[in-house]
Amino acid sequence: MDRRWIQNPNRCADEYLDRIEDFIEFARRHNPGATRIRCPCRRCNNTLWETIENVGFHLVRNGMIETYSIWNLHGEQLEHASSSNATRVDNVQPIVDANDQVMDIIQDVFPFASTNMNQEEQDDVPTPIDSAEFEQYEKLLKNANQELYPGCESFSVLTAIVELMDGKIKYRMSNLCFDYFLGVFKRMLPTDNCLPKDHKQAQKVLNGLGLGYEKIHACKNNCMLFYKEHESLDTCPICNESRFKMTSQNRTTKIPQKVMRYLPLKPRLQRLYMSTHTATDMRWHKEKRVDDDVMRHPADGEACKEFN
């Protein structure tokens, strides 16, 4: 069965919606009596279980995993699927070492490092590097090469933090819950392990990857942000509410009553275009439009050749 519709970016197309209904019917038929099934949307990634109705909603909203062309987790037999999808071997994902993936991320974030290394090998003058960026690069490289504990070959310090933070986000784990399990894991590991003790320390390590955010104090009643020209104010000019919390002795602390976490868009877009793994996905609309124009308006010579 042709399942190229999974990669259709237009999830409002009639074909896509019809195929989603076919998948839901397939799941019902192969899981009789089941109230929940794995959700193959891009957000749940076949790891979360949802009601069949919610799965259909997720697939329309988030789209199906593009590589999930063999529905073996929903009852499809691998033998039958492999024979019907024999030509789609490109969907098989190779097993990649987690440590290698982290090193690829570092190279994407700091492309100047590999560029300067290549230039030094060619005895050329290296490109000047910002000292602050190079310091971040050295810290990340140290954590990427440092074993989680002596003798551990599967995880470096950075790899372990990335894996744990990925699970925290995927399963919507609170910081308090994350701190608890991080403490449990740290006690389970050998005493000389290098795992961070809490979420705050783990976040500091990942800040070098550009995954941080900016904290902006906000009014308790959502009147305004203490930002730019209002950054130095201690009370809201609209409702006169204090910017900071008060102690039981009616003393002002430096703890804000409300905080907005701002994720700057520009550096994240730059990162997506910078990475070799995501740059192609970011350009698909441009390249697809060019391909469509070529198909719609072929060269005169090619058109004549096809006509003849």
The answer to whether 139 and 204 are in contact (CB under 8 A) is: no
Q: Is 35 helix (H, G, I), strand (E, B) or coil?
A: coil
Average pLDDT over residues 185-194: 93
Q: Angle at Cα 97 formed by Cα 92 and Cα 102, nearest 5°?
A: 115
Q: What is the rounded average pLDDT for all residues in the chain?
A: 77
Specify the residue for token string 């942000």.
Answer: 225
Between 276 and 304, the higher pLDDT residue: 276
**Cα 114 from chain centre:** 24
b/e per residue, 62-85, with b = 16+ CB within 10 A?
A: bbbbeebbbbeebebeeeebeeeb
Percent of the chain with pLDDT over 90: 21
Which whole-number Å values give the CA distances from 124 to 118, 133, 152, in the listed order? 9, 21, 38
**Beta-carbon neighbour count of residue 236 at 10 Å?**
20
Q: Is the pTM of this model over 0.75?
A: no
pLDDT of residue 263: 79
Q: CA–CA separation, 75 vs 95, rounded Å?
A: 24
